[in-house]
Amino acid sequence: MKSNKFIKLLSAPYIVWAVGFIIIPLIMVFYYGLSNRDKQFTFEYVLSIAKPEHFKSLYLALLLALVSTIVCILLAYPLALILSGLKSKNEHLVVFIFILPMWMNFLLRTYAWMTLLENNGVINSILNFLHLPNIQIINTPAAIVFGMVYNFLPFMILPLYNSINKIDKNVLNAARDLGANYFQTLFRVIIPLSVPGIISGITMVFVPSLTTFVVSEMLGGGKILLIGNVIEQEFTQNSNWYQGSGLSIVLMLFIIISMVITNIYDKDGEGNTL
């Protein structure tokens, strides 16, 4: 049993690290979020979410994150179905192709979308050339949703693909044998069995969409403030750590809520590891 003691000691550096760089920093967010400049305990900054300008940014962030999550599901589900129908030989390669974009700097990719979507950008030039009406999407909430869908779509594709692929083919054959048509099989068998994938896809798209400040800054033209932008500005421009931390606590509440929902549906945590 002496050997076990030695082995357990191997975790010690990480435990020290986790306390120092994960737990203490989080405690500090709570400390600053729940106190004011005079070091008094207060809920003032957390409750300041009710102020119209903060509430509006939270509401908009929730709304845009919700819309982009729904769009992601609608786009990714048919694709995951198509991918899972492929012969197993190419399957690695195909999934690989859909993950690959995630490895190019996402700021540059979003910047490329700015170039493409601008009012006199590439897409509008092509539309002009074809004598079609122009799109004016840049600097609107729609452009932000577009950017979110673009950036986070792979996070939806992968868990969906994994969970659909895991479904026993015999179950599908049984459904067919028992007389279900394609859509009945889809809605009664495939979709219910892929719920863990849907749920983990939702958290993986919803949380980063809800908390981003980069996409909204770049495609929203800096005029549309989401809760992430407000927090970022409190820290970098106003240097008001108390206000920024207070709003971060609110943000974490929403993340915890979405994690709780994930855990209810995804008990074995399969969907989380891609």
Partner 1 sequence: MIKFLKRFYAVLILLFLYLPMITLVVLSFNSSKSRAKWGGFSFIWYRNLFHDSEIMKVLLTTLLVAFVSAVVACFIGTIAAIGMNKMKPFTRSALMGVTNIPMLNADIVTGISLMLLFLILKDKFGFRFGIVSILLSHITFNIPYVILSVMPRIKKMNPSNYEAALDLGATPVYAFFKVILPDIWPGVLSGFLMAFTMSLDDFIITYFTKGSGVDTLSTKIYAMVKKGVNPEMYALSTLIFVSVLILLILINTLPSGGKSKKAEK
Report the C-alpha gap between 170 and 137 in whole angstroms.
Answer: 47
Determine if 150 is a binding residue for partner 1 (CB under 8 A): yes
Q: What is residue 180's three-state secondary structure? A: coil
Site for partner 1, residues 184 to 203, rule: CB under 8 A: 203
Q: Closest distance between partner 1 and the C-beta of residue 135, in Å?
A: 15
Q: What is residue 269's three-state secondary structure? A: coil
Determine if 135 is a binding residue for partner 1 (CB under 8 A): no
Determine if 221 is a binding residue for partner 1 (CB under 8 A): no
Determine if 47 is a binding residue for partner 1 (CB under 8 A): no
Site for partner 1, residues 230 to 249, rule: CB under 8 A: 231-232, 235, 241, 244-245, 248
Paired with 251 in beta bridges are none
Determine if 71 is a binding residue for partner 1 (CB under 8 A): no
- 71 vs 180 by CB, closer to partner 1: 71
Determine if 172 is a binding residue for partner 1 (CB under 8 A): no
Q: Closest distance between partner 1 and the C-beta of residue 184, in Å?
A: 17
Determine if 17 is a binding residue for partner 1 (CB under 8 A): yes
DSSP 87-154: -HHHHHHHHHHHHGGGGS-HHHHHHHHHHHHSTTSHHHHHHHHTTPPPP--TTSHHHHHHHHHHHHHH
- 45 vs 213 by CB, closer to partner 1: 213
Determine if 165 is a binding residue for partner 1 (CB under 8 A): no
Note the residue count of the chain. 274
The pairs formed by 254-262 with CB atoms below 8 angstroms and a separation of 24 or more are 254/62, 254/210, 255/207, 255/210, 255/211, 258/202, 258/203, 258/206, 258/207, 259/203, 261/199, 261/203, 262/199, 262/200, 262/202, 262/203
Site for partner 1, residues 82 to 121, rule: CB under 8 A: 82-83, 85, 92, 96-113, 115-116, 118, 120-121
Of 74, 122, 127, 171, which one interacts with partner 1 (CB under 8 A)? 122
- 194 vs 217 by CB, closer to partner 1: 217
